[in-house]
Amino acid sequence: MSVLTKTSATSIATRQAPELAVIVPTFNEHDNVAPLVERLEVALAGINWELIFVDDNSPDGTADAAWELSRLHDNVRCIKRLGRRGLSSACAEGILSTSAPFVAVMDGDLQHDEAILPAMLAKVRAGADIAVGSRYAGGGSAGDGLSPLRLWGSNLATRLSTLVAGQELADPMSGFFMLRRDLFIDVAPQLSSEGFKILLDLVVTATRKGTPPAIAQVPYTFRQRLSGESKMSPLVVLQFLGLWLSKLTGGLLPTSFLLFALVGFSGLAIHLAVLWLLTSVAPQPFLVAQIVATITAMTWNFFINNILTYADRKLHGAKLWMGLLIFYLVCSLGGIANVSIASVIYEARAVPIVAGLAGALMSSVFNYSVTRIFTWK
Ligand code: GDD
Ligand code: MN
């Protein structure tokens, strides 16, 4: 086309804008990025595509390896994010950085089979809103890529997802999919930035906006990781549960609030355990036991929130200790709010448990809102 031959006054040649952008989030995938580029070149021959790595400052130097590749291939680039972690937000930022009409999201560890990309492209070109690389649709397989425990968890998550998505999804947990860029732009403001499961979030958000996306499945076999290790962890599972609950409430309760509340409950268990230890096992005056239990629970809540609820803006170094101090302060004020509200409601002749719950709810909303402003900004 004419664009190819057009040159500007300073004779900088312009290339034809790509039709497909492949977005690859990476964290510690140093050894995988070069083989990935080679494989994509084979799989996407004849297609005008670009590749965008989004790296969260991997300690193994993945970004340097990716930049090295972009010096050799003018359709490869890398965005390096500092002080951030998160698969979903990395994918979102990669997609937002391209003008290609079709975008694919794919893992950087070669577990996703790049050979099905042309089939996915054919589906979206033909009008599908989203083409999902599916491990469970006919012909696909989770192969040896997943342990039995993960297979079970993945199946359960699939069933939970169908509940919130409003349509049967063969593999809603898939991290391998392609969609029209404009669909993404349309729902992007409503997506959660937390967690691993951007596809599920996309489908649910588009459906809630009144346009259930037309989804095409393209089966593939999930491969073994080439090198490095999975970042899947119990924390990721909890983050998924938070996202799921949040979607179930129609997005009314943000994922981060649900996770914060969940952490609060675990803190309560810690509090009671310490209290029991210091009153029955190694008896101390009650006041001492109560103070130690409170501080232990607050400290626990702080650190767990830091790695779970706010994994995407985790505090480190000096900010971590400052954050802990602010957290103690906010929670103490929250405690005062808790007791005051509970007493007022109790005075109004409510049953103690209702008064107690109202106080606890009040202080969790308070702690959540205030620490979002002052601790995890
Ligand atoms: N930028 C960035 N930031 N990338 C990340 C982060 C992060 O915090 N965490 C993980 N990644 C990158 C990894 O480097 C890899 O390229 C990809 O995201 C997937 O991470 P894995 O740790 O390999 O996840 P998995 O193999 O256990 O699960 C993946 O595949 C499943 C099947 O499609 C994920 O994509 C799951 O969402 C998916 O269900
Ligand atoms: Mn993987």
Q: How many domains does the chain have?
A: 2
pLDDT at 139: 59
In ligand 1, the atom with minimum distance to the C-alpha of 85 is 8
pLDDT at 116: 96
Judgement on whether residues 75 and 208 belong to the same structural domain of the protein: yes
Residue 211's domain comprises 3-229
Residue type present at position 2: S
E-assigned strand segments in 215-370: 215-219
Residues 257/367, Cβ–Cβ less than 8 Å: no
Would you tell me how many other CB atoms lie within 10 Å of the CB of residue 245?
Answer: 18
Judgement on whether residues 356 and 302 belong to the same structural domain of the protein: yes
Pocket test for ligand 1, best of 132, 232, 243 (most atoms within 8 A of CB): 232
Token pair of 262, please?
Answer: 């969940």
21 CA → ligand 1 middle, Å? 18
Ligand 2 (ion): residues with CB under 5 Å are 107, 109, 111
Q: Which residues surround ligand 1 with Cβ inside 6 Å?
A: 25-27, 29, 54-56, 85-87, 90, 107-109, 111, 173-176, 196, 230-232
In ligand 1, the atom with minimum distance to the C-alpha of 32 is 16
78 CA → ligand 2 middle, Å? 19
In ligand 1, the atom with minimum distance to the C-alpha of 27 is 14
pLDDT at 91: 95
Complex-level ipTM: 0.96
pLDDT at 144: 63
Q: Give the span between the Cα atoms of 66 and 55, in whole angstroms.
A: 9
Indicate which ligand has the atom closest to the C-alpha of 236: 1
Judgement on whether residues 119 and 167 belong to the same structural domain of the protein: yes
Q: Is position 159 within any domain?
A: yes
Q: In terms of DSSP bridges, do strands 130-134 and 215-219 run parallel, antiparallel, or are they unpaired?
A: parallel
Q: Is position 245 within any domain?
A: no
Token pair of 328, please?
Answer: 């103690």
Q: Is position 76 within any domain?
A: yes
Judgement on whether residues 285 and 366 belong to the same structural domain of the protein: yes
Judgement on whether residues 181 and 263 belong to the same structural domain of the protein: no
Cα–Cα distances in angstroms (integers) from residue 101 to residues 14, 44, 179, 198, 251, in the given order? 18, 16, 9, 19, 28
pLDDT at 7: 46
Indicate which ligand has the atom closest to the C-alpha of 134: 1
Q: Determine if the pTM surpasses 0.95.
A: no
Judgement on whether residues 269 and 189 belong to the same structural domain of the protein: no
The residues near 289 (Cβ < 8 Å, ≥ 6 apart) are 274, 275, 278, 279
In ligand 1, the atom with minimum distance to the C-alpha of 230 is 22
Pocket test for ligand 1, best of 31, 107, 244 (most atoms within 8 A of CB): 107
pLDDT of 205-242, one tens digit each? 898 888 889 999 999 988 887 777 777 777 878 888 88
Atom 23 (ligand 1) nearest CA:
230
143 CA → ligand 1 middle, Å? 17
109 CA → ligand 1 middle, Å? 8
Total H helices, total E strands in the chain: 13, 7
In ligand 1, the atom with minimum distance to the C-alpha of 107 is 16
CATH number, domain with residue 201: 3.90.550.10
Query: Last residue of some domain: 160, 195, 229?
Result: 229
Mean pLDDT for each 10-residue chunk of the chain (377 residues)?
A: 47 77 96 97 97 96 97 96 88 96 96 96 96 74 70 80 78 88 93 74 88 91 79 79 83 87 92 91 88 93 93 89 94 87 83 82 89 90
pLDDT at 216: 93
Indicate which ligand has the atom closest to the C-alpha of 106: 1
SS3 annotation, 188-245: HHHCCCCCCCHHHHHHHHHHHCCCCCCEEEEECECCCCCCCCCCCCHHHHHHHHHHHH
Judgement on whether residues 210 and 262 belong to the same structural domain of the protein: no
Q: Is position 249 within any domain?
A: no
